[in-house]
């Protein structure tokens, strides 16, 4: 009973410290963030008054009152309207004052080719970071590797190709030991020779998308594969000229395998049958000669199969 009373008083005390349900330092930080944006659609019109926890896109802890989540994503419809009502501009370093922040979504916000701020790497409590279609440019900062609690990282840059966002090394990715979801599609990886070594150090990774990244190299075989938790693998549109990498056959829990628009060649091998959990397989527009007769044995869960352009003969 005493502990319960103490807890209630503690919560009341914390909330009393906050200015009308919102810490003043965090409110000021959010106002600085707002000031950096052009907001033709008045998305942030609710960002006034004392209680920032009531503002659109802001979620606070029910117990501490600290800002935990900031969602500034633009909808697909807003981005494609003309004139667009979507947010654009720059993100203020005052964001760092939200030091309890766990979730940051800036997807489809137009940053017009500025670099991803290095100080994002100081948001140590982040678990979710979505920068997809945000039109950043330059080199992805290695400081993101400081986000050791991160579970979700999306830098998908489709539609922003003019800004030439790139990653020149992947060593920082290996430090994201809790990462489960990684989307780097449409980010230039052509000089990042260490990309697979870094990815292979993420045992919790379940989703990987490197579509249209032009990786400089993709290993055919490996002495050890550490990403066996993968459920989704997308390597489309990379002009890869080889047989299907043999390490893929060790991903026995994979459900979605997407390898189209490459130059994979030879026969689709019988080892494909090892992937018993596979539900979606997309191999269209490669240079396969045919399919080994046992390739589809055991694929009882397969619901979507796209072999468009695969030559029909099977290998004995």
What ranges do the domains of the chain cover?
A: 2-306
Mean pLDDT throughout 206-228?
94
pLDDT greater than 70 at residue 20: no
Task: Select the more confidently predicted residue: 205 or 10.
Answer: 205
More confident residue, 315 or 132: 132
The average pLDDT across 289-297 equals 94
- Of 108 and 5, which is predicted with more confidence? 108
Q: Quote the pLDDT of residue 16.
A: 46
Residue range 2-306, CATH number:
3.80.10.10
Residues 149-162, mean pLDDT to the nearest whole number: 96
Segment 128-148 mean pLDDT: 97
pLDDT of residue 310: 76
pLDDT at residue 314 in the model = 57
Q: Which alpha helices (DSSP H) does 214-271 contain, by range?
A: none
Give the pLDDT band of residue 192 (cuts 50, 70, 90): very high
Q: Can you give the pLDDT at residue 78?
A: 60
Please check the confidence at residue 14 and state whether its pLDDT lies above 80: no
pLDDT above 90 as % of the chain: 84
Can you tell me which residue has the tokens 């840059």? Answer: 157
pLDDT of residue 21: 74
pLDDT band at 84 (very low <50, low <70, confident <90, very high): confident
Among positive and negative, which fits the CA dihedral 164, 156, 159, 105? negative
Examine the pLDDT at 6 and tell me if it is beyond 50.
Answer: no
More confident residue, 216 or 123: 123
Strand, coil or helix: 38: strand
- H/E stretch holding 290: strand 287-291
Q: What does the alpha-carbon distance between residue 96 and residue 119 come to, in Å, rounded to a whole number?
A: 8
315 confidence band (pLDDT: 50, 70, 90): low
Largest CA distance in the chain: 77
pTM (two decimals): 0.91
Q: What is d(CA 169, CA 189) in angstroms, rounded to the nearest whole number?
A: 8
Q: Mean pLDDT of all residues in the chain?
A: 91
pLDDT of residue 311: 63
Whether residue 160 contacts residue 140, with contact meaning beta carbons closer than 8 Å, is answered with no
Average pLDDT of span 58-79: 89
Q: And the tokens for 247?
A: 């390490």
Read off the pLDDT band of 17 (50, 70, 90). Answer: very low
pLDDT for the residue numbered 91: 94
CB atoms within 10 A of CB 141: 18
pLDDT digits (tens, 9 = 90+) for 224-264: 999 999 999 999 999 999 999 999 999 999 999 999 999 99
User: From CA 12, how far away is CA 252, in angstroms rounded?
Assistant: 51
């Amino acid at each position: 009973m005493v502990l319960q009373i103490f807890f209630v008083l503690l919560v009341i005390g914390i909330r009393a410290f906050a200015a009308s349900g919102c810490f003043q330092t965090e409110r000021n930080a959010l106002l600085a963030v707002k000031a950096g944006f052009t907001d033709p659609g008045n998305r942030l019109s609710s960002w006034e008054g004392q209680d920032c926890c009531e503002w659109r896109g802001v979620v606070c802890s029910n117990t501490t009152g600290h800002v935990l989540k900031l969602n500034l994503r633009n909808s697909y419809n807003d981005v494609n309207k003309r004139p667009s009502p979507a947010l654009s501009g720059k993100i203020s370093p005052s964001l760092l004052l939200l030091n309890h922040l766990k979730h940051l979504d800036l997807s489809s916000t137009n940053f017009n080719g500025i670099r991803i701020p290095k100080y994002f790497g100081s948001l140590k409590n982040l678990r979710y970071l979505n920068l997809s279609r945000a039109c950043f440019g330059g080199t992805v900062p290695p400081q993101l590797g400081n986000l050791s609690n991160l579970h979700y990282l999306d830098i998908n840059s489709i539609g922003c190709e003019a800004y030439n966002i790139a990653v020149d090394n992947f060593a920082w990715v290996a430090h994201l030991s809790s990462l489960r979801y990684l989307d780097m599609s449409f980010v230039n990886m052509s000089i990042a020779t260490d990309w697979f070594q870094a990815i292979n150090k993420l045992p919790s990774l379940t989703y990987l998308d490197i579509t249209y990244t032009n990786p400089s190299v993709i290993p055919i075989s490996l002495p050890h594969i550490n990403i066996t938790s993968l459920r989704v693998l997308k390597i489309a549109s990379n002009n890869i000229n080889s047989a299907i990498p043999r390490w893929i056959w060790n991903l026995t829990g994979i459900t979605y395998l997407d390898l189209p628009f490459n130059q994979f060649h030879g026969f689709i091998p019988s080892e494909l049958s090892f992937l018993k959990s596979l539900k979606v397989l997309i191999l269209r527009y490669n240079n396969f000669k045919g399919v080994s007769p046992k390739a589809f044995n055991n694929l009882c869960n397969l619901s979507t199969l796209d072999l468009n352009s695969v030559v029909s003969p099977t290998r004995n």
